[in-house]
Amino acid sequence: MILVTEMMHVEGLRTLEDAPYRYDPELYCKPLELQRWLPEVEALIVRNQTRVDRNLLSKAPRIAVVGRLGVGLDNIDTTALTERGIALVIPRGANAAAVAEYVIGAVLGFSRRFEQMAMATRSGRWERPMNAQGVFGRHLRLVGYGATGKAVAERAEPFGMRVSVYDPYVDQIPDRYRVKEVEDGLESVDYISLHVPLTPNTQGMVNRKLLGNLKPGAVLINASRGGLVNEADLADAVESGHLAGAILDVRAQEPPDPEDRLSRLDKIWTTPHIAGLTDQSQRSIAVWVAERVKMELHQRPLM
């Protein structure tokens, strides 16, 4: 049986129709019911809420493949999968365009003050400020140059933005983009956008030191992983006026406490982890994962 424990696009479910499967988009938050199904599970399809760890795997003796409806691995113990010989299916790059669109939209929306202007007009004020900032000639720093970082760069340059990239693990970075150290040139950066996985090396990498080195009035965009940012240091940087603000699609705790410091700051825009959630991206991810999970089961018959 294929068990899907979180939201999956209907086209992905249709792809599973010729295989025995069970779908409950809220099963991840019903641990007792989830455990009841695990002994029958041959394949598990999850998003980012189901913890696929040793404890879960120990209760699933027949499992042969795990499919992830996204690219992050924060909730999956890959070492435990390897030890058990369990295949892992990840749609790398499948939502790169959607996340890149989010980042460019964040840059444009923040620079032109769309939210504030819409709210003012709705309240009856006809304000036409002359100091809104355009993006032509502005410096966008990308931290990470995988599929998503590359897609952002490709979309930013036609707007006339200057793009620079820090990624010590990618060789194929155009010379006009590459910086050798994450701190290089931060004093000229207007927008900094994160596109790296959460690892022990990247945990809290955006901290007081890095934020302090940014150009006054810079803006942080994080549509990658919440744990990359030291949120207390970010709140300090925004409250002090050093940063103009931040657009956060991900938080260290999701959903965040509505009374935490970042949630109370007007210059922090928070969205509910939706950067990659376009209908097009979710359809293609769901179908891709469903097809490959079935392929893995077909190729690896269980005893």
Active site residues: 225, 254, 273
CA distance 287 to 12: 4
Is-contact 107 221, C-beta < 8 A? yes
On whether the CB atoms of residues 52 and 75 are closer than 8 A, the answer is yes
Residues pairing with 46 in the sheet: 68
Find tokens 């406490």 and name the residue: 257
Residues 140, 190 contacting (CB under 8 angstroms): yes
Task: State the residue for tokens 């598990």.
Answer: 44
The sign of the dihedral angle between the CA atoms of 256, 262, 265, 271 is: negative
Pairing outcome for strands 2-4 and 21-23: parallel
